[in-house]
Structure 1
Amino acid sequence: MTEAAAEPGSAHPVRHRDRVRRTRTAVRLTGYADPAPVRAARPGRAARRRGLRLPPVVWDSLLPALLLLHIMTMRAPRELPAAVALTAALALPLVWRRRAPLTVFGAVAAAAFVQWLMDLQLPADVALLVALHTVAANSGRRGTLVAGAVVEGGALLACLRWAAEGAFPTLFVAVTAMVVAAAVLGVNVRTTRAYLAAVEERAARLEHQQDQQARLAAAEERTRITREMHDIVAHNLSVMVALTDAAVHAQHRSPDKATTAMLQISETGRQALTDMRRSLGILRTGEPDAERHPPPGVAQLETLADQMCAAGLPTRLEVQGGHAHLPATVQLTVYRLVQEALTNTLKHTPTGTHAKVRVLCSAEAVAVDVTDNGPCPPPSGVTPSGHGIPGMRERAAAYGGTLQAGPLPGGGWGVRTRLLLGSSGAASA
């Protein structure tokens, strides 16, 4: 309970209404908030709603009861038995009008015809209009037309027999208007009910589609995070392992080199933590680290090449064309492709291997070519299993490119791809 609600004399009613509104919004959106404040917000309306929720058969029984009470109190004793019997025959079937509208209409129409034959006027004739309304609200067009024609025929017979001299046209028009109004109101109820059902079905379908889209988006986000974590962890751990081996070998012969390698290990670990915070910080609103450290791009490839050189893989970088027009997502893709290719070279080639990275930027596409002079794979041609190359293919496919990874004709291994920017990429830039 809020402070404004606890104090009746609070001087801030607007703040109180805002808090109540936020509480209701939280209940609707999350479903986990305590529903007690919402239930206590409108106790009077909830009580009235519970009081009005009577079974339909109770409402349908009110009109027959009133008609019978009226006949029993207003008719003369000599006409009472016939009037009560005909009123019961006309009104009592209305209790079941929702379950069997056509059957009830037939029973009421038959009772009205008997009444006409007995030349006895009764207020219970209104039951014909109620039965017609029910047929129009629950049956199709054909049933409504047939029921309306039957009631209109009965109206014509009643006006011919009971209309005063000279009053037939006026009476017949008035009765016809009531018949048409009952039928039209019933059709309107049926149309409204069908419209609401269609709206509910559409809302349920849209909700289902939104749930599916949310699940697909969550799956894509999990895939993206998994791919990013793989690139970050695999690359930095490979570099740290290589630097650790170099430090172990140099700790006795060259302590200065060992110290430099250990400092580079520390820097690589910090960089890995920064990359992980940046990748996961996108998921959290207001994460400052994601703003302080933008995602890496083409400009950071030089730092990556220096890092690989320090880890024992001499790397030569060549970037042609301006990359300032490239969107951040494209630059991140280029960076991850080069990072994964160099990491695979560092892990699977012996000492002394050299790598070359060539990036060609244009307005329509970005070509990435990473090669090395390491030994070729075994004659079977089976590449090492893992998630690196499939992840690179997924990144390239996101921009309409295909990845080619395999041995080179003159020896070594190469990774080539071409990312298509198209009009959307240029626009976003």
Structure 2
Amino acid sequence: MRWWRAVGLSLVVTLIGMAEIAYGHGPGLFKPTIAQLALVLVGAGALLVRQRYPRAVVAVTVLCGAALPAFPPHLVLADVPAMVALYTLALQAGRRTAAAYGAVAVVLLTGSSMWWLPGHLFDIRNVLPLNYVVAAVAIGDSVRNQRKLLAQERRRAAEAERDRAAEARRQVREERVRIARDLHDVVAHHITLVNAQAGVAHHLLRTDPDRAYQALAGIKDTSRVALDELRATVGLLRADDEPDNRQPAPTFAGLDALLDGFRQAGLDVRVTRAGAPRPLTGTADLAAYRIVQEALTNARKHGGGGTVDLDLTYSGDTLDVTLTNPAQPGVRGPGTGHGMIGMRERAESAGGRFTAGATTGTFVVQVSLPLAAGSETTR
């Protein structure tokens, strides 16, 4: 509390105490005695430090209020300094402490006035100290509870804001990982095809110009598709007010075009299909395309031969994809490159399963992805 508020409160309490004495006895104004004036000033002055020493201030104000009726002429009045002190104590110390001090205050203030009242024990004015003490403690406790609830709501709001910020940061991190994974898939796939087609063109340029020309045309088409996909992926990073130049994300329905690109690069892809084709879930659709794309890219770059067997099996509510290609000598284990990590993350994020590894001279990639619920089997 600012110093001027404390001083102003003490002055107001002093004026109230003087007014109660001046107007509390007979007609006209009554001049307070030195003792009455001293007790009023001490009680009001103690309120200057009520925030720092609430218990001591309650004790001082209650003792002053209990001593005031001992100096004639006798008065029955509301002890305002004690009410303010008890309110402050209930506000700071809590209900139990305020109730204990309030009980002592009721006993002292009631007892100090009972002995001189005409009816003594049976005078109705004996209940006045009880009334204003209970009111002061109850109001202070109520305000304390309201402030506590308000503080809790503010903490909850701050925690909710921190949670929202953390969730937003997590989503940003996941989006960055997804975009980085897409960039890796696009660049690795198309650069591998361009490199393979360039090698074919270089090899056939003198001996078979027509096939070399076809390989160069394939390089042109592959690079154009790569640029389109890079623009679509990088376009996700643009601000909302920038021109939107996004292309649709590839889907598993474009598998044949993907395989044709690899075949033009010299990779012999043999496809086996079992079961009636059915649509995949939204996330699994893109995941299936990217996983096949990455697996074929790895087979072209690291495989021990120029052939890949691709098996597609639709059964129940899953699509099982198996890619098998000859492995280079000495290849062991499932592989730990970024491509393998990306394929595994794509499959798991779509609710599927992914395994990969080299066995008996071949490298096998297997993935199971969920089909769209409620889709009808095509006959």
TM-score range, shorter-chain basis?
Answer: 0.7 to 0.9
Amino acid at match of 2:47: L
Instruction: Indicate the residue corresponding to 1:388 in structure 2.
Output: 339
* Cα distance in structure 1, aligned partners of 2:88 and 2:134: 13
Unpaired runs of 5+ residues, structure 2, are 23-28
Contact 1:317 1:356 in 2 (8 A): yes
* Cα distance in structure 2, aligned partners of 1:214 and 1:205: 14
* Cα distance in structure 2, aligned partners of 1:168 and 1:279: 90
Amino acid at match of 1:83: Q
* Aligned partner of residue 250 in structure 2, secondary structure: coil
Contact 1:244 1:262 in 2 (8 A): yes
Moved more, 117-126 or 92-101: 117-126
Instruction: Indicate the residue corresponding to 2:167 in structure 1.
Output: 213
Instruction: Indicate the residue corresponding to 2:348 in structure 1.
Output: 397
Q: CA deviation at 1:124?
A: 7.8
* Aligned partner of residue 344 in structure 1, secondary structure: helix
Q: What are the within-5 Å matches in structure 2 for residues 162-311 of structure 1?
A: 170-284=124-238, 285=240, 288-290=244-246, 293-311=247-265
* Aligned partner of residue 403 in structure 1, secondary structure: strand
Alpha-carbon spacing, 1:323–1:377, altered in 2? closer, same or farther (3 Å):
same
Pair 1:337 & 2:291 matched: yes
Alpha-carbon spacing, 1:66–1:128, altered in 2? closer, same or farther (3 Å):
same
* Cα distance in structure 1, aligned partners of 2:13 and 2:95: 30
Q: TM-score, normalised by structure 2?
A: 0.85
Q: CA deviation at 1:150?
A: 2.2
* Cα distance in structure 2, aligned partners of 1:363 and 1:385: 31
Q: CA deviation at 1:343?
A: 0.4
Alpha-carbon spacing, 1:360–1:282, altered in 2? closer, same or farther (3 Å):
farther
Count of residues in correspondence between the two structures: 366
Contact 1:71 1:83 in 2 (8 A): no
Moved more, 69-78 or 83-92: 69-78
Contact 1:367 1:416 in 2 (8 A): yes
Alpha-carbon spacing, 1:242–1:283, altered in 2? closer, same or farther (3 Å):
same
Q: What are the within-5 Å matches in structure 2 for residues 16-35 of structure 1?
A: none
Instruction: Indicate the residue corresponding to 2:312 in structure 1.
Output: 359
Contact 2:344 2:354 in 1 (8 A): yes
Moved more, 79-88 or 275-284: 275-284
Contact 2:61 2:81 in 1 (8 A): yes
Q: CA deviation at 1:400?
A: 4.4
* Cα distance in structure 1, aligned partners of 2:335 and 2:100: 79
Q: CA deviation at 1:107?
A: 1.3
Instruction: Indicate the residue corresponding to 2:26 in structure 1.
Output: none
TM-align CA RMSD: 3.1
Alpha-carbon spacing, 1:164–1:257, altered in 2? closer, same or farther (3 Å):
farther
* Cα distance in structure 1, aligned partners of 2:46 and 2:344: 74
Moved more, 207-216 or 299-308: 207-216
* Aligned partner of residue 377 in structure 1, secondary structure: coil
Q: CA deviation at 1:115?
A: 2.0
Instruction: Indicate the residue corresponding to 1:414 in structure 2.
Output: 364
Instruction: Indicate the residue corresponding to 1:48 in structure 2.
Output: none
Amino acid at match of 2:202: V
Q: Determine which of 346, 366, 373 is the counterpart of 1:426.
A: 373
* Cα distance in structure 1, aligned partners of 2:35 and 2:375: 87
Unpaired runs of 5+ residues, structure 1, are 1-54
Q: Which has the higher contact order (CA 8 A, sep 6+)?
A: 2
Structure 1, residues 17-48: CA drift from partner, whole Å, max 9, x if none? xxxxxxxxxxxxxxxxxxxxxxxxxxxxxxxx
Instruction: Indicate the residue corresponding to 2:69 in structure 1.
Output: 116
Amino acid at match of 1:413: F
Report sequence identity in percent: 33
* Aligned partner of residue 426 in structure 1, secondary structure: coil
Contact 1:376 1:407 in 2 (8 A): no
Q: CA deviation at 1:168?
A: 6.3
Q: CA deviation at 1:67?
A: 4.2
Q: What are the within-5 Å matches in structure 2 for residues 53-202 of structure 1?
A: 55-68=1-14, 79-119=32-72, 121=75, 125-157=79-111, 159-161=113-115, 170-202=124-156
* Cα distance in structure 2, aligned partners of 1:253 and 1:210: 65
* Cα distance in structure 2, aligned partners of 1:403 and 1:71: 85
Contact 2:279 2:375 in 1 (8 A): no
* Aligned partner of residue 373 in structure 2, secondary structure: helix
Alpha-carbon spacing, 1:307–1:70, altered in 2? closer, same or farther (3 Å):
closer
Contact 2:78 2:129 in 1 (8 A): no
Q: CA deviation at 1:145?
A: 1.3
Contact 2:333 2:357 in 1 (8 A): no
Q: TM-score, normalised by structure 1?
A: 0.76
* Aligned partner of residue 82 in structure 1, secondary structure: helix
